């Protein structure tokens, strides 16, 4: 049920070669993975400024297809800023400046000619602060499907239900679909925004602390969904929960003060980090 996105400046589907400034080519993530996955997003020398204030410095690493990559680091280190680069959120603000390249299947998504709406269908994002639209619960999830696909009412209902189930929200809202999304609790709004993003089946899903307002049961269900989504999508998740990163992420990137300190398989990062600052952070001595 994927969109045909083969036209336009982002339409090619060839896979790029890994750019490997850190000498980390082809880290194998999980046990028994003998060959690395292809690169889905190749982050090359990305910098970011809010006006004169730098927030990211020369970030380069690869995000592998059909894998989960976690971004970790202390508050204010630039995790959300980096995630926002991947779907061009800075375009909405005059004083926010991005440099470098981010190749999606080999094509630079930061190039001016890129159609940002097409890009955001391919790379969906769930923001740190949930932002449901002021409309019904059903319409929040259906809106992207109505815009992008021609579905019958039965098909639409099915896709909405499927997305709400995957977001671990269906049981709480199945009788309230016509109620305003704004009447939901913070944790429910967070899961609704997750459902809204997942419903359109993006190739890449960016999740900014998707479990920050959730109880352990909902968190476990979202983690199961993330694991399931790997078969069809590439996932990037920001989390402050290091156990969560170790549990669900194949790869982890550690950011500190806007710099990428270390990138590697989660297995390596959490058992034998290469950098002293990574060790200080994951052992709770920093941040």
Ligand X SMILES: Nc1ncnc2c1ncn2[C@@H]1O[C@H](COP(=O)(O)OP(=O)(O)OP(=O)(O)O)[C@@H](O)[C@H]1O
Between CA 189 and CA 132 the distance in angstroms is: 6
Comparing CB distances to ligand X, the nearer of 128 and 268 is 128
Alpha helices (H) in 102-204, listed in sequence order: 116-122, 137-148, 153-166, 170-173, 186-199
Comparing CB distances to Mg ion, the nearer of 87 and 136 is 87
Between CA 204 and CA 258 the distance in angstroms is: 23
Give the dihedral of Cα atoms 147, 153, 157, 159; nearest 10 deg. Answer: -50
Q: 170, 194 in Cβ contact below 8 A?
A: no
Find where tokens 């955001």 sit. Answer: 120
Q: Which of 60, 62, 69, 80 binds Mg ion (CB under 5 A)?
A: 80
Q: Which of 14, 31, 35, 75 binds ligand X (CB under 6 A)?
A: 75
Cα 40–chain centre separation:
12
What phi, psi does 72 have (nearest 5°)? -125, 165
Percentages helix, strand, coil for the chain, rounded to the nearest 5? 35, 25, 40
Measured from the CB of residue 114, what is the shortest distance to ligand X in angstroms? 22
**Which 111-150 positions form the footprint of ligand X (CB under 6 A)?**
128
214 binds, among ligand X, Mg ion, none (CB under 5 to 8 A by kind): none
Tell whether residue 78 is a contact of ligand X (CB under 6 A).
yes
Tell whether residue 106 is a contact of ligand X (CB under 6 A).
no
Q: Binding string, 36-55, against ligand X, x = CB under 6 A?
A: --------------x--x-x
Tell whether residue 77 is a contact of ligand X (CB under 6 A).
yes
Tell whether residue 225 is a contact of Mg ion (CB under 5 A).
no
Tell whether residue 127 is a contact of Mg ion (CB under 5 A).
no
Comparing CB distances to ligand X, the nearer of 240 and 247 is 240
Between CA 155 and CA 160 the distance in angstroms is: 9
Measured from the CB of residue 110, what is the shortest distance to ligand X in angstroms? 17
Interface residues with Mg ion (CB under 5 A) are 80, 128
Interface residues with ligand X (CB under 6 A) are 50, 53, 55, 73, 75-81, 128
């Amino acid at each position: 049920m994927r969109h045909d996105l083969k036209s336009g400046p982002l339409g090619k589907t060839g896979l790029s070669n890994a750019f490997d400034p850190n000498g980390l080519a082809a880290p194998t993530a999980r046990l028994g993975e003998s060959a690395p996955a292809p690169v889905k997003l190749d982050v090359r020398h990305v910098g970011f400024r809010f006006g004169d204030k730098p927030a990211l410095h020369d970030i380069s690493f690869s995000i592998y297809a059909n894998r989960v990559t976690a971004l970790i680091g202390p508050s204010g280190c630039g995790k959300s800023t980096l995630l926002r680069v991947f779907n061009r959120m800075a375009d909405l603000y005059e004083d926010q400046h991005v440099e470098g390249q981010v190749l999606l299947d080999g094509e630079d998504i930061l190039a001016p000619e890129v159609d940002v709406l097409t890009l955001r269908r391919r790379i969906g994002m769930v923001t740190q602060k949930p932002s449901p639209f002021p409309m019904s619960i059903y319409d929040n999830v259906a809106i992207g499907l109505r815009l992008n696909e021609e579905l019958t009412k039965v098909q639409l209902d099915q896709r909405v239900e499927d997305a709400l189930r995957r977001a671990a929200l269906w049981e709480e809202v199945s009788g309230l679909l016509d109620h305003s999304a704004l009447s939901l609790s913070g944790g429910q709004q967070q899961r609704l925004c997750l459902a809204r993003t997942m419903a359109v089946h993006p190739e890449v899903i960016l999740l900014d602390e998707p479990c920050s307002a959730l109880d352990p049961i909902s968190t476990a269900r979202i983690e199961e969904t993330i694991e399931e989504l790997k078969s069809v999508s590439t996932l990037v998740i920001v989390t402050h929960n290091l156990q969560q990163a170790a549990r669900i992420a194949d790869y982890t990137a550690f950011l500190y003060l806007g710099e990428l300190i270390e990138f590697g398989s989660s297995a390596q990062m959490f058992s034998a980090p290469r950098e002293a600052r990574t060790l200080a952070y994951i052992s709770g001595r920093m941040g």
